Chain A
Amino acid sequence: MSKPYSLAKGWSDAKTIAFLTLDTLFWSKKTIFVGLISLMVLGLAVIGRLVLSYHWVNAPFTSGQVFSLLMSTAVVHFLVVFVTLFYGTALISEEVEGRTITYLFLRPVPKGVIMLGKYMALLWTSVILILPTVFLSYLILYLRADMNPFFQDVALLGKDLGIIFLAILAYGGMFSLLGAWLKHSILAGLIYAFGWEGIISYLPGFTRKLTVTHYIQSILPHQDALGALSQLIGRRTEPMEAVITLVLMAAFFMATGCLLLREKEYVLEQ
């Protein structure tokens, strides 16, 4: 008779699966692509710094304003989306295509735990790849003889990091679900990220509340042009409500993903 499956065993199994997945996620061609996007963000930070230092633009920009612009556009709406899209959709689909999923499915663990373990790997990979870019951007823009702005805006940096983590959580859940569900999940993910999210969140009415972007914009401490546009169309959601909604969205995507993985048959092509 098999032992009942405990929460502790589930956590331990999810960690083992996460470690197993980390290696395959990190050492893939995607990491090169993500590295290039990160370099691009850093490049923008360097340009911003040069603009600030050499007064290339005749406008009173501060480091904080350039950093805010970088976070709300290049990082949250671009880097986070691409990292979670590429890695999230690959979590299950690559193992199915690579036919290594058999080794996991033939172990005495619920399939939901496999999904959760892989999602944990996605969160770690995304954090490892995105956070250094954010820190480095902050250093590039703020390091100077006068360190007052650096320390004044540390709280802003902390808030940004929290928002980035929430975005990873929600987008990661969505793209993991797509990866477990669809064969051409990366294409579906691109359509979702830059079609649905990109258009619906700027339309008036209730539908924009069905996007991750809307809730992220609601808690961003700084406004980009698109955020300002969306505010013209309708009110932001209260910050606490937005945070809870993002966490619930991630939980919903994951629960659906777990259920899907449990019920779906993966027919591995010969």
Chain B
Amino acid sequence: MTPVLEGKNLSKWYGQVIAVNKVSFTLGAGVTGLLGPNGAGKSSLMKLITGQLKPSQGEITLFGERIWNNYGLLHRIGFCPEYDNFYERMTGAEFLAALLRINGFSEADVQARVASALVVVNLTEARDKKIGAYSKGMRQRIKLAQAIAHDPEVLVLDEPLAGMDPVGRHETIRLVRQWGKEGKCVIVSSHILHEIEAMTRNILLMHNGQVLAEGDVHQIRNLIDKHPHNIYIRCPNPRRLAEALIGFADVVSVRFNSNGDGITIESRKPDEFYARLPELMLRAEIDLDEITSPDDNLQAVFHYLVK
């Protein structure tokens, strides 16, 4: 499969400040979460991806073409900026229409696309209201609408959930997942871990301008040998379960929970552990009430990688 977006040894610095430091990545269709704390370089990377910034070093290509000063590529990109800035005197519909006209659509097409984009972001009723009078959530949604109105193949969304109410967040998360399933290449950034986790398992983890990890959260977690995978098992007889588990080489430690209703084990090979667990439970005649992995989320991955 041809990669949609490819960064090779990509760096961007502003004077003495390095924003993106020798980053390489390959992204295809689907949703990729760009994750990292504030100042990690996410926004700079997004600006490099959308051709707003010129790489100081390295190369970034979209569909095999360089992006910087390649305006012909821009009809294939939709960008939702982090900034809350607009042409305040315009109505939502006027704003979308003006940008679609610049995109080169005919007047009939412009009107159809404006209506369609407003339906998607649920702003039809506010279409003729001035953007200056929009609420924070509505402004966020109109920003999203201008990114999708021309139906781009690549969507770059910088903190798209900021300022949205819970309903709006839920709906936007659903839309992002849907766009990913439709085959668009969606890159979505956030510094809030559970937001990304709700949208995708495929992440690009950034810190101090560098990509710390790339790929599936679960796989990334498995790669971290220094930090064994925590698995919490709640069962009526934790002592017997501990006895059965302690002999396996991948099990680093077993801890009893303070209330005595289960154990937390640390395994270096969680996949193997999960594979043999059912047979083990049957053989040792142990019932199981609950099995969870407190580590198998972005918070844990992020915590381990930046520590």
Residues of A at under 8 Å CB distance from B?
Answer: 2-3, 5, 9, 12-13, 16-17, 19-20, 23-24, 27, 98-100, 102-111, 262-263, 265-268, 270
Verify A106–B83 contact, CB threshold 8 A. no
Verify B98–A267 contact, CB threshold 8 A. no
Verify A103–B89 contact, CB threshold 8 A. no
Near A by CB (< 8 A), chain B positions 48-86 give 50-54, 69, 71-75, 77, 79, 81-83, 85-86
A267 in contact with B14 given A23-B87, A99-B85 (CB within 8 Å): yes
Q: Complex formed: what's the CA distance from A105 to B68 in Å?
A: 11
Which of A19, A100, A108 is the one whose CB lies under 8 Å from B104?
A108
Q: Which residues of B contact A102 (CB under 8 A)?
A: 52, 79, 81, 83, 85
| Least Cβ–Cβ distance between B5 and chain A, in angstroms | 15
Verify B73–A2 contact, CB threshold 8 A. yes
A13 in contact with B102 given A106-B52, A108-B75 (CB within 8 Å): yes
| Least Cβ–Cβ distance between B175 and chain A, in angstroms | 19
Asked if B200 lies at the interface with its beta carbon under 8 angstroms from chain A, I say no
Near A by CB (< 8 A), chain B positions 30-51 give 43, 50-51
**CB pairs A–B below 8 angstroms (26 shown):** A2-B75, A5-B72, A9-B104, A16-B98, A16-B101, A16-B102, A17-B102, A20-B98, A23-B87, A23-B89, A23-B90, A24-B87, A99-B83, A100-B85, A102-B79, A105-B52, A106-B50, A106-B51, A106-B74, A107-B74, A107-B103, A108-B73, A265-B53, A265-B54, A268-B83, A270-B82
Residues of B at under 8 Å CB distance from A?
Answer: 14, 43, 50-54, 69, 71-75, 77, 79, 81-83, 85-87, 89-90, 98-99, 101-104, 146
Which of B51, B73, B89, B102 is the one whose CB lies under 8 Å from A104?
B102
Verify A107–B102 contact, CB threshold 8 A. yes
Q: Complex formed: what's the CA distance from A158 to B149 in Å?
A: 47
Verify B74–A108 contact, CB threshold 8 A. yes
Q: Which residues of B contact A17 (CB under 8 A)?
A: 102
Q: Which residues of B contact A20 (CB under 8 A)?
A: 87, 98
Q: Which residues of A contact B51 (CB under 8 A)?
A: 106
| Least Cβ–Cβ distance between B160 and chain A, in angstroms | 15
Verify B53–A108 contact, CB threshold 8 A. no
A2 in contact with B72 given A100-B87, A102-B83 (CB within 8 Å): yes
Q: Which residues of A contact B90 (CB under 8 A)?
A: 23
Q: Complex formed: what's the CA distance from A265 to B53 in Å?
A: 6
Which of B71, B98, B102 is the one whose CB lies under 8 Å from A111?
B71
Q: Which residues of B contact A13 (CB under 8 A)?
A: 101-102, 104
Q: Which residues of A contact B50 (CB under 8 A)?
A: 106
Verify A108–B71 contact, CB threshold 8 A. yes
Verify B102–A262 contact, CB threshold 8 A. no
Q: Which residues of B contact A24 (CB under 8 A)?
A: 87, 89
Which of A12, A19, A266 is the one whose CB lies under 8 Å from B98?
A19
| Least Cβ–Cβ distance between A112 and chain B, in angstroms | 10
Q: Complex formed: what's the CA distance from A94 to B130 in Å?
A: 20
A262 in contact with B69 given A108-B74, A267-B14 (CB within 8 Å): yes
Verify A99–B81 contact, CB threshold 8 A. yes
Verify B69–A267 contact, CB threshold 8 A. no
Q: Complex formed: what's the CA distance from A109 to B51 in Å?
A: 13
A110 in contact with B89 given A102-B52, A103-B146, A105-B52 (CB within 8 Å): no
Q: Which residues of B contact A262 (CB under 8 A)?
A: 69
| Least Cβ–Cβ distance between A262 and chain B, in angstroms | 6
Verify B79–A106 contact, CB threshold 8 A. yes
Q: Complex formed: what's the CA distance from A3 to B73 in Å?
A: 11
Q: Complex formed: what's the CA distance from A23 to B83 in Å?
A: 21
| Least Cβ–Cβ distance between B166 and chain A, in angstroms | 26
Q: Complex formed: what's the CA distance from A133 to B53 in Å?
A: 43
Name the residue of chain A whose CB is nearest to the CB of B83. Answer: A99
Which of A98, A105, A110, A265 is the one whose CB lies under 8 Å from B85?
A98
| Least Cβ–Cβ distance between B195 and chain A, in angstroms | 19
Q: Which residues of A contact B53 (CB under 8 A)?
A: 265, 267
Q: Complex formed: what's the CA distance from A105 to B104 in Å?
A: 14
Among B50, B53, B103, residue most surrounded by chain A Cβ atoms (within 10 Å) = B103
Q: Complex formed: what's the CA distance from A110 to B71 in Å?
A: 6
Q: Complex formed: what's the CA distance from A27 to B74 in Å?
A: 30
Q: Which residues of B contact A19 (CB under 8 A)?
A: 98
Which of B52, B82, B86 is the one whose CB lies under 8 Å from A100?
B86
Q: Which residues of A contact B101 (CB under 8 A)?
A: 12-13, 16
Among B50, B85, B86, B146, residue most surrounded by chain A Cβ atoms (within 10 Å) = B85
| Least Cβ–Cβ distance between A60 and chain B, in angstroms | 52
Q: Complex formed: what's the CA distance from A24 to B85 in Å?
A: 13
